[in-house]
């Protein structure tokens, strides 16, 4: 039981470090101190994978701590990367087959 609790704490700490890293990248992107294309080239898939892992817990944390800013910039980063991804994808056309 102690081992499982310790592993959970380690996983939570590591997950929080990843979130804080992307929170920082999001702040720099929001303030236009980083170029969005460079962020996209460096972290594109990683941002989405990380956010998908935490996105259900973020609203719970915001509500629990009455703080709507928890991982606000990480979410902004994710939304910006998704927006850019959608722009890159070719439009599908119906050929009336």
Q: What is the pLDDT of residues 56-81, one digit of tens each?
A: 989 998 999 999 999 999 999 999 99
Domain ranges of the chain: 2-82
Residue 12's nearest CA partner among 72, 53, 68 is 53
**Among 10-14, 49-53, 83-87, which is the least confidently predicted range?**
10-14
Using CB atoms within 10 Å of the CB of residue 47, give its burial: 0 to 12 exposed, 13 to 18 middle, 19+ buried. Answer: buried
Phi, psi at residue 92, to the nearest 5°?
-90, 140
Q: What confidence tens digit (pLDDT) does each residue in 19-59 have? A: 999 999 999 999 999 999 999 999 979 999 999 999 998 99
What pTM, to 2 d.p., does this model score? 0.80
With 50 as the cut, is the pLDDT of residue 1 above it?
Answer: no
Q: How many CB atoms are located within 10 Å of the residue 25 CB?
A: 20
CA atoms of 82 and 43, how far apart (whole Å): 12
Is residue 92 left, alpha or beta, with left meaning phi > 0 and alpha meaning psi from -120 to 50? beta
Query: What tokens does 25 get?
Result: 């990248």
């Amino acid at each position: 039981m102690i081992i499982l609790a310790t592993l959970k704490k380690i996983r939570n700490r590591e997950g929080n470090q990843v979130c804080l890293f992307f929170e920082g990248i999001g702040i720099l992107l929001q303030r236009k101190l980083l170029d969005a294309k460079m962020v996209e080239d460096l972290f594109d898939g990683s941002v989405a994978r990380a956010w998908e892992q935490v996105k259900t817990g973020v609203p719970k944390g915001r509500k629990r701590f009455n703080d709507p800013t928890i991982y606000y910039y990480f979410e902004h980063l994710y939304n910006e990367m998704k927006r850019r991804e959608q722009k890159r994808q070719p439009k599908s056309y119906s050929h009336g087959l």
